Amino acid sequence: MTPRRAAEDVVFCVVFFTRLPLPAFDFGGRPLAQAIWAAPVAGAVVGMVGCLVYLAALMLDVPVPVAAALTLAAGMLVTGCLHEDGLSDVADGFGGGATRERKLEIMRDSRIGAYGASALLMSALVRWSAIAALANPLYVCSALIAAHAASRALLAAFMVLLPPARTDGLAASAGRAQADGAYVSLAIGALALLAIGASGLAVAALCLALVFFGLRAACLRQIGGHTGDTLGALQQAGEITVLVVASAMLT
């Protein structure tokens, strides 16, 4: 891969995964799967936005719990709640559907049900609690960058190890990710986890592996593959996992 192509892939992922006001780019119809290795880089950008918001809030003497809430809100705003939407759809589909077809139908429905609302509430509550518990600006910034990057580092491998559950939709149009890209993505995620220390890296990597293979098994059993929504749910579960590990290891 040339440096120019790598830079284009990074920009592609930042444009796809965030709502940052970037110039319009022409990617020539390239499928997402070809650039998905750079997803953790886009995640690091989201984490840095959260860091800036947290530091600015503390400089204005905002209490730590409020600063943590503003930081979480900034992450949601900069991503357009892309992954939160996936989490709620998966919770509703897996929890409310009796058959594979019905689960996929529910996941495509824009309305939110009790399972989805509960999943969103718990996701926000746990992440806010972890950020507030960390409190120290250095710990918060380290955890945010590690969590946002490492959670998105799992996406390429998930696309490699699971077929699309639909013949249409985001997952199908994104194409099949390549194993070498997945390895690169995981390596970037591991480097990001070093921000919470060597022991934090080891514990977080183990926990992320459990989350990854647990959700993979659930997707195979429930719908026979992955969708864009399940990738969003994986990111949310990964972000929660790293933030919880960081709150336990750094405080």
The answer, yes or no, to whether residue 173 has pLDDT greater than 70, is no
The answer, yes or no, to whether residue 122 has pLDDT greater than 80, is yes
Q: Identify the band that residue 185 occupies on the pLDDT scale cut at 50, 70 and 90.
A: very high
Are residues 214 and 158 in contact, defined by beta-carbon separation less than 8 angstroms? no
Q: What's the pLDDT score for residue 68?
A: 98
Whole-number Cα distances in Å, 102 to 33, 51, 52:
27, 40, 42
Each residue's pLDDT tens digit, 25-41: 777 677 888 999 999 99
pTM of the model: 0.95
Beta bridge partners of 165: none
Q: Which residues contact 74 (CB under 8 A, 6 or more apart)?
A: 49, 50, 53
The answer, yes or no, to whether residue 171 has pLDDT greater than 70, is no
The residue ranking higher by pLDDT, 28 or 109, is 109
Rg over alpha carbons for the chain, rounded to the nearest Å, is 17
Question: Chain-wide mean pLDDT for the chain?
Answer: 94
Q: Identify the band that residue 251 occupies on the pLDDT scale cut at 50, 70 and 90.
A: confident
Each residue's pLDDT tens digit, 73-103: 999 999 999 999 999 999 999 999 999 999 9
Mean pLDDT of 123-134: 98
Percent of the chain with pLDDT over 70: 96
